[in-house]
Structure 1
Amino acid sequence: MRLHPKKGAEILAPIKQLSDICPIIRHHHEYFDGTGYPDGLKQEEIPPMSRILTVADTVDAMGADRPYRKGKPMADIIAELERCSGTQFDPEIVSAFLKTASARGGAPAGR
């Protein structure tokens, strides 16, 4: 499981049109405090688009129904983002997401 960001970037690397997004994919499980993977990057070392993707991926993963569990309500997802802001997530990205979700009545687009 912890290999998928690195493997995903490696699979896409030979495709010239997608080469720009390889670092974004590779680092979307890096945590703001440096405890993520695959490279243990922290804060500004993590590409900005990866920090955005980390939040988006988390919202999607927590909100989606899985064969083994129902998706969580948006209130629970927001609480998790707030709890992990500054450790797992970039606080500026979390703040921007929360402002957007609030403007949409508590749910991101598509929910």
Structure 2
Amino acid sequence: MDHKINIDKEPPTNNDLMNTIRAVTSTIDKCDPYTAKHQRRVAKLAVAIAKKMGLSSHQIEGIELGALIHDIGKIHIPIGLLNLPRKFTPSEYEQIKPHVQLSYEMIKDIQFPWPIAKMIHQHHEHLDGSGYPQKLTEKDILLESRILAVADVIESMTADRPYRHALPLQEAFEELLAHKGTYYDPTVVDTCLQLFKEEDFAFD
């Protein structure tokens, strides 16, 4: 099945784009409620980080929309694999990783006024080049993608998964600090930690 998203040739208005995003997230919610919830929570944290970092309202809007569909490519991954009641084997994890490229392919032709496709394509990249799918290094990774990466890992670790209960926030903080400057942008990490520790940020 072709899940590529199409929009008319005329440049869409922001309202058109929002309606498209709503339709997409609604579809994901029906197919994979876990991923839909994950994307909403990542969007909430990513927006909070972007605001605290002083990004423009235009950038913040783009980050929110990108976060809301950053895992859209998972609709191409068998739901039975996504919802395995145990941790993925290395082989299974390799079957999950293509969701990033699939997400990019699904939206790359939409004329967003933000680099949404690129943002999504890069959200599993690491500053030291050890990420995927392109193995980009620091200078080539968008700030928006760096924000998504941090929000994504915090949400993933502190949410219930099919194979485990939510981990304590402190474990997620330790993950960020252990890879600060290698995987994750130091400023983004510091900002995220400030939100939780000083401003009592909460997903719900």
1:5 equivalent in structure 2: 100
CA contact (8 A) 1:13 1:22 kept: yes
1:95 equivalent in structure 2: 190
CA contact (8 A) 1:9 1:22 kept: yes
Gaps of 5+ in 2: 1-95
- The separation in 2 between residues aligned to 1:7 and 1:60, in whole angstroms, is 21
Runs of 4+ in 1 over 4 A off after TM superposition: none
If you compute each CA radius of gyration, which structure gives the higher value, 1 or 2? 2
1:49 aligns to 2:144 (yes or no)? yes
CA contact (8 A) 1:28 1:54 kept: yes
1:65 aligns to 2:129 (yes or no)? no
- The separation in 2 between residues aligned to 1:41 and 1:88, in whole angstroms, is 11
Question: Identity over aligned residues, as a percent?
Answer: 36
Q: What whole-Å deviation, never above 9, does each CA across 1:5-34 have from its counterpart, x for those lacking one?
A: 111011012333477300000000000111
Gaps of 5+ in 1: none
Secondary structure of the residue aligned to 2:115 is: helix
Q: What whole-Å deviation, never above 9, does each CA across 1:41-78 have from its counterpart, x for those lacking one?
A: 11121011000000000011101101110111111111
- The separation in 2 between residues aligned to 1:58 and 1:75, in whole angstroms, is 13
> Which residue identity lines up with residue 203 of structure 2 in the other structure?
G
- The separation in 1 between residues aligned to 2:100 and 2:148, in whole angstroms, is 12
CA contact (8 A) 1:13 1:19 kept: no
TM score, norm. by length of structure 2: 0.50
- The separation in 1 between residues aligned to 2:114 and 2:100, in whole angstroms, is 14
- The separation in 1 between residues aligned to 2:161 and 2:153, in whole angstroms, is 14
Deviation at 1:110, TM superposition (A): 1.8
Instruction: Give aligned pairs, total.
Output: 109
Superposition RMSD in Å: 1.6
